[in-house]
Structure 1
């Protein structure tokens, strides 16, 4: 009997120690399985009594169900009760089939494995680029038949004007006979096709190009391969080795997952159109700089939602750096701040490469020249949807902090200069889009003319097109002032066109 009492005392001691460790976690506001904004923490009450005539404690644990021992033999000395009223009560059957996608299951498994939330940036990265279920990975999401339309899809004139910019920069570089032309996130390859086709008459520029497409999606790589009319040719030195040639320009072309994989050592022209907006952002509250993280209630109904985490992360360094670049007024007036560490790291890498190899980068995206507040959004089939609605089925993007890009580039190297941002309307107008649209209108059908006018307005206009007389839900909306253009160039090359 004494051995039984010792075992019970030991069990009671283990339980008490476990509960004492659990209580601080439950009261800290940290989210764990089944505990969060939708279900409160459990409360624990302890009571100790003694009924032994010999003075020796005879402890028993009284659970909510009846003990299996003979009631006459029980001598309760200690009782522990657990108040579960604050907990979410799941239904009786926990193994019913559910319709979670593979990506949602993956997100929940990460959260469950960690025992706590993941950051907004981690959520965004998984949703967009997860190797199996990411939004960009296994399908074509661009164009009228996709989820959104980009400027190259609107009109051929956009890619042609970017080609004019690239040729002007090449001239300022001294017309090198070998140059890397790099596009980050090429989409369907439309911009590059229009750039190459528009500059095809400039033979020296065309011959100098080595094209590099930075694209992580195998599905989009295939779309780009077809759009650029690519062919694989055997190299002279090794019959088993092949190189890819674009029949649009006769230039060699290669694909890479990251900018680091693009060979260095040659002057480089980098184009990043609507690339920065898809880089994952961290969200902080101005008050106490609390990070917004994503978590889920693992007890049915299981779902994902945003919570405030009462502690900092390793990305506090990036937040501190970003706030250092801002004025006191900027920080004071914001309720939230978005910081994009990957944008900072990418800009640093671009600036270092341009400083050492020569060349320049063109960045065009929607955003502003200052701190960004709460801008994260989701788009599915050309409509805004909830950010957590069916992850992986909608594009996630955030406004680009152009001021941060400028500071990062200048901090990375003294060998580069940063110009802009200017509006997309100013950028395209200075490169001659007005003359281009007039020339195209000279020889086209009425239907083509309407398409040109609509495309022109979307590229350079501001707000709704005044000439539109079609359905209201199809009114062309100008992107001319919402999109900004910025350039980072090697200082030796002077000020790039059209940023003078």
Structure 2
């Protein structure tokens, strides 16, 4: 009923199309492949060995048509505050730090982290996310949330949580699209889980919020969005979001920024890759001579995998924070009801070596000028599934399916056709381009502009997964 209401004004001819269909997916998108070579030596027990890469370990990485990485200059330069901080940690400990710790400092250091004090999204930022591509993405996520709310029995009070909301574009588009469904919007209390003061300010502006006084524990700020009259609160972590109410959680391109530990197979078995400083003050990779705490998560991940899946790999990435976050999330959904939607780029299996750095829409060396580029890694969707099922017997996990399947099933075809009925030629071109980027695969076949500006489809590179309370049945569109 809800989806019928959403699209009842759609032209009759277009309503005849299946919601499962999308534009023809043509031309495979070019990808950046990282290949490693040569075997590591066994480091002595009282030291670490400089890392040498291993052979036959290739993974294709796509970030929507970005350029190939630039070489590390290795030229002397004055260290930034973050570089000095990282070197200070290594010196204080008398040894290297994990890739995960390096990644966490680079992204969220309170003074100099990549996400903390700047706007990194959009054409003028370092990368573009799906909500920045087209309003239709947030609208379709809104359709999913409303359908889940219906399956939950239309509760009168619901927590709608977004993890890592960026500029707030997705939530703003969701509220715009849902604003006519007053029973739904009146039930919502929005919770934005965001640690960056700069991005909190942008989200506040995008949601057109008016501030209110708040004395609630763990709430940094409480406002009301004038887009739909919905209360909005900000929190640093998911744990600060109040429990006890049915909860809908949205995590779009959030898991890929969680810090990963990297392991490499050597003669002694699996060794964790670490980051050290050379004598000439440059960062380098080394191997840990002994097991590290993260080895426990590696053992858990290998236990979940079939032996053949691990045997063929020389490198493995594990993300303890993703496992722990999913455990917390699933526990909450199992106890309070509701569900979570996770959309990201990744694999439905063990991830080998996917960590990448992006600066100004280009790939760069991850050790080059830390804090000036975004670091992200492929999401291990299988690990999310196992973590959720281990956390609670009251939840079920569905997917992953491709972003193209997810958006197509929710009716993005209907929506783009409706929008095309009343727009200028320039707006129509923007709609077609945005649509292709969301659901297409590779370069758009209709593009007639400069080749380097051709829209690249993310439809098959990004995947969607849902974790829901079993009482609510299978969520749309995972049936």
1:294 aligns with 2:311: no
Which of these residues, 305, 310, 313, is aligned with residue 334 of structure 1? 313
Which of these residues, 95, 101, 111, is aligned with residue 132 of structure 1? 111
Whole-angstrom distance in 1 between the partners of 2:51 and 2:162: 43
Residues 418-465 of structure 1 deviation map (CA, whole Å, 9 limit, x = unaligned):
000000000000000000000000110000000000000000001111
Whole-angstrom distance in 2 between the partners of 1:118 and 1:459: 37
Whole-angstrom distance in 2 between the partners of 1:281 and 1:235: 36
1:353 aligns with 2:332: yes
Q: Which residue of 2 aligns with 1:175?
A: 154
Q: Which residue of 2 aligns with 1:275?
A: 254
Residues 50-108 of structure 1 deviation map (CA, whole Å, 9 limit, x = unaligned):
xxxxxxxxxxxxxxxxxxxxxxxxxxxxxxxxxxxxxxxxxxxxxxx950000000000
Whole-angstrom distance in 2 between the partners of 1:235 and 1:475: 47
Note the residue ranges of structure 2 that are not aligned, 5 or more in a row. 1-42, 53-75
Q: Which residue of 2 aligns with 1:227?
A: 206
Pair 1:303–1:236, CA change in 2 (3 A): closer
Whole-angstrom distance in 1 between the partners of 2:252 and 2:176: 18
Shift of 1:349: 0.3
1:213 aligns with 2:230: no
Shift of 1:310: 1.9
Paired residue secondary structure (1:435) = helix
Q: Which residue of 2 aligns with 1:446?
A: 425
Q: Is the contact between residue 51 and residue 287 of structure 2 (CA under 8 Å) also seen in structure 1?
A: no
Q: Is the contact between residue 349 and residue 381 of structure 2 (CA under 8 Å) also seen in structure 1?
A: yes
Q: Is the contact between residue 44 and residue 289 of structure 2 (CA under 8 Å) also seen in structure 1?
A: no
1:30 aligns with 2:47: yes
Q: Is the contact between residue 125 and residue 360 of structure 2 (CA under 8 Å) also seen in structure 1?
A: yes
Q: Which residue of 2 aligns with 1:265?
A: 244
Whole-angstrom distance in 2 between the partners of 1:27 and 1:339: 25
Whole-angstrom distance in 1 between the partners of 2:387 and 2:363: 31
- Please say which of residues 407-416 and 311-320 is displaced more in the overlay: 311-320
1:202 aligns with 2:150: no
Structure number with greater CO (CA < 8 Å, separation at least 6) is 2
Whole-angstrom distance in 2 between the partners of 1:211 and 1:229: 13
Note the residue ranges of structure 1 that are not aligned, 5 or more in a row. 1-25, 39-96
Q: Which residue of 1 aligns with 2:68?
A: none
1:120 aligns with 2:99: yes
Which of these residues, 431, 449, 452, is aligned with residue 410 of structure 2? 431
Paired residue secondary structure (1:290) = strand
Q: Is the contact between residue 369 and residue 403 of structure 1 (CA under 8 Å) also seen in structure 2?
A: yes
Q: Which residue of 2 aligns with 1:23?
A: none
Residues 236-275 of structure 1 deviation map (CA, whole Å, 9 limit, x = unaligned):
99xxx98411111111101000000000000000000000
Which of these residues, 373, 379, 383, is aligned with residue 400 of structure 1? 379
Whole-angstrom distance in 2 between the partners of 1:462 and 1:175: 36
**Superposition CA RMSD, Å:** 1.8
Shift of 1:309: 1.6
Q: Which residue of 2 aligns with 1:192?
A: 171
- Please say which of residues 304-313 and 109-118 is displaced more in the overlay: 304-313
Paired residue secondary structure (1:232) = strand
Whole-angstrom distance in 1 between the partners of 2:51 and 2:471: 56
Q: Which residue of 2 aligns with 1:63?
A: none
Whole-angstrom distance in 2 between the partners of 1:458 and 1:136: 24
Paired residue secondary structure (2:186) = helix
Q: Is the contact between residue 286 and residue 331 of structure 1 (CA under 8 Å) also seen in structure 2?
A: no
Paired residue secondary structure (1:466) = coil
Q: Which residue of 2 aligns with 1:253?
A: 232
Shift of 1:286: 3.2
Pair 1:231–1:332, CA change in 2 (3 A): same
Q: Is the contact between residue 404 and residue 439 of structure 2 (CA under 8 Å) also seen in structure 1?
A: yes
Residues 160-208 of structure 1 deviation map (CA, whole Å, 9 limit, x = unaligned):
0000000000000000000000000000000000000000000000100
Q: Is the contact between residue 402 and residue 421 of structure 1 (CA under 8 Å) also seen in structure 2?
A: yes
Pair 1:106–1:481, CA change in 2 (3 A): same
Q: Which residue of 2 aligns with 1:10?
A: none
Whole-angstrom distance in 2 between the partners of 1:404 and 1:234: 40
Q: Which residue of 1 aligns with 2:5?
A: none
Whole-angstrom distance in 2 between the partners of 1:335 and 1:236: 52
Whole-angstrom distance in 2 between the partners of 1:172 and 1:310: 52
Shift of 1:28: 3.5
